[in-house]
């Protein structure tokens, strides 16, 4: 148990569906992240939030829409996805996300997403 919880663990959706991924951290951290893990690519950073403000959007298509209502919760809203978006989506948190200190990330177990 790392203190970062993701739901659901598995999700199958059609290309016209709208769904949301949820992440919650119980570590008192101020930074939260979404990463995408595909079978044949390195982990790809998608979004970074620091103190609820988005500080990084790594050229992610608009069909992925993040939301961070407070420092403990992070959502990823999905709509009109493509089959190539099928991947493991990992949420992580860290103490302050400034990048200038020892930025230890704590990961959730991920949501395995399949787009049909």
**What are the residues binding other proteins (CB under 8 A)?**
2, 4, 6, 33, 35, 41-43, 45, 48, 55-56, 58, 90, 92, 97-110
Q: How far is the CB of 104 from other proteins (least distance, A)?
A: 6
CB of 55 to other proteins, least distance (A): 7
- Distance, in Å, from the CA atom of 66 to the CA atom of 42, rounded to the nearest integer, reads 21
Min dist CB 63 to other proteins, Å, is 22
* Coil, helix or strand at residue 25: strand
Closer Cβ to other proteins, 77 or 104, answer by number: 104
- Cα–Cα distance for residue pair 33/92, rounded to 1 Å: 5
Nearer to other proteins, 50 or 115 (CB): 50
Between 2 and 72, name the residue whose CB sits nearer to other proteins.
Answer: 2
The token pair that represents 100 in the structure block:
């200038």
Q: How far is Cα 50 from Cα 84, in angstroms, rounded to an integer? A: 29
Query: For residues 28 and 23, what is the distance between their CA atoms, to the nearest angstrom?
Result: 14
């Amino acid at each position: 148990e790392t203190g970062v919880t993701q739901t659901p663990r598995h999700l199958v959706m059609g290309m016209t569906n709208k769904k949301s991924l949820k992440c919650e951290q119980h570590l008192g951290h101020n930074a939260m992240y979404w990463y995408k893990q595909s079978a044949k690519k390195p982990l790809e950073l998608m979004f970074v939030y620091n103190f609820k403000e988005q500080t990084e959007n790594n050229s992610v298509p608009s069909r992925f829409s993040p939301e961070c209502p407070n420092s403990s919760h992070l959502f990823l809203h999905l709509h009109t996805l493509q089959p190539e978006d099928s991947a493991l989506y990992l949420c992580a948190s860290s103490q302050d996300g400034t990048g200038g200190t020892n930025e230890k990330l704590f990961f959730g177990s991920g949501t395995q997403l399949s787009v049909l």
